[in-house]
Amino acid sequence: MGRNPAVGTAAAVAALLLSGCDSHGSAEPAPNLAGSAVPVVSTTVAPTAEPAPATPPSAAPGAVLQPCGDIGTATTAPDCRLQSHDIAGLGFEIRHTGSRAHMTTTVAVLDANGSARQTITEADTDVAGTVPKLRDLDNDGRDELIIPLALATANARYAIYHATGDALDYHRAGELAGVGMDTSAANYVVVSSRVGYAAWDIEFWTFVTDKLRPLLTAQVRPIDDGTGKVAGTTCTAIDSGGLNITGLSLGEATQQFCAEPAVQRIRRN
């Protein structure tokens, strides 16, 4: 079974990674995107999360932002508003300043009464035409705020902000990079990353005290039929530092996590 990799556009990767982020659906990874692995957790971005001023930064007096939605072929990220539908009912006013490759994304978090209570800032983001999204990644009843940091033809990078229970303040949980995000049957965060021709790392993460912690990685690798064509794939689980949290042995984890729908979709393509 032969395959010809194709290089996609940054906008296509962003759409794939964040498709369905306003709901609890799955994002289908695209096997025709080529690229190399990128670090999943980075410390290059210096975010801040602090109490919001009475008037959100760069807001014109009386300005009303439109809901974030399909931005079509926009080359710059529009200012817009998100509304969570979880128990907190928070609003998020998103504004962008600076140039394309050095964009600052500022999110004013509003309580259910519309009062500003927190400002989240991500500096030097390269996010042409892409806006933050809300999605409950761990199925705990609260939406995560997903802010795009950098787009690429293979794996895009995102900052994940997390709040638990009835807490109103969001905390920067870490960064994820890949082509598709999903939620596993055990409510782990799943990220599919392209690491080479027909090769994927499907990473499983969990939140521990408002921080993302890696559990394990299901490594999908191609089988060469001897003529340079792909004759199938193998899948092996690798401990990423949190295997003990799952309560499984490495062999049991390989059997369970390689059977996850996000992994099987990749192996079928």
Q: What is the pLDDT along the chain (269 residues), one digit of tens a residue?
A: 444 433 334 444 444 455 444 444 333 343 333 333 333 333 333 444 555 444 444 444 346 899 987 655 566 778 999 999 999 999 999 999 987 667 899 999 999 999 999 999 999 887 666 889 999 999 999 999 999 998 877 899 999 999 988 889 999 999 999 998 999 999 999 999 999 888 999 999 999 989 999 999 999 999 988 888 888 899 999 999 999 999 999 999 999 999 999 999 998 87
DSSP letter string, 63-130 = --PPBP---TT-SSPPPEEEE--SSS--EEEEEEES-GGGEEEEEEEE-TTS-EEEEEEEEEEB-TT-
Q: Report the C-alpha dihedral over residues 162, 33, 183, 69, rounded to 10 degrees.
A: 60
What pLDDT, on a 0 to 100 scale, did the predictor assign at position 237? 96
- Closest Cα to residue 92, out of 70, 117, 71, 75? 117
Q: Which domains does the chain have, with CATH numbers?
A: 10-268 (2.40.128.460)
What tokens were used for 207?
A: 């939140």
What pLDDT, on a 0 to 100 scale, did the predictor assign at position 12? 45
**Other C-beta atoms lying within 10 Å of the C-beta of residue 72:** 6
CA 184 – CA 160 distance, rounded (Å): 17
- Closest Cα to residue 182, out of 68, 14, 19, 10? 19
* DSSP secondary structure letter of residue 27: P
What pLDDT, on a 0 to 100 scale, did the predictor assign at position 52? 46
What pLDDT, on a 0 to 100 scale, did the predictor assign at position 226? 82
Contacts of 62 (CB under 8 A, 6+ apart): none
CA 17 – CA 30 distance, rounded (Å): 10
Backbone torsion region of residue 191, taken as left when φ is above 0, otherwise alpha when ψ lies between -120 and 50, otherwise beta: beta
Supply the pTM of this predicted model: 0.76
What pLDDT, on a 0 to 100 scale, did the predictor assign at position 69? 76
Place of tokens 């939406």: 143
Contacts of 231 (CB under 8 A, 6+ apart): 1, 223, 224, 225
**Other C-beta atoms lying within 10 Å of the C-beta of residue 121:** 17
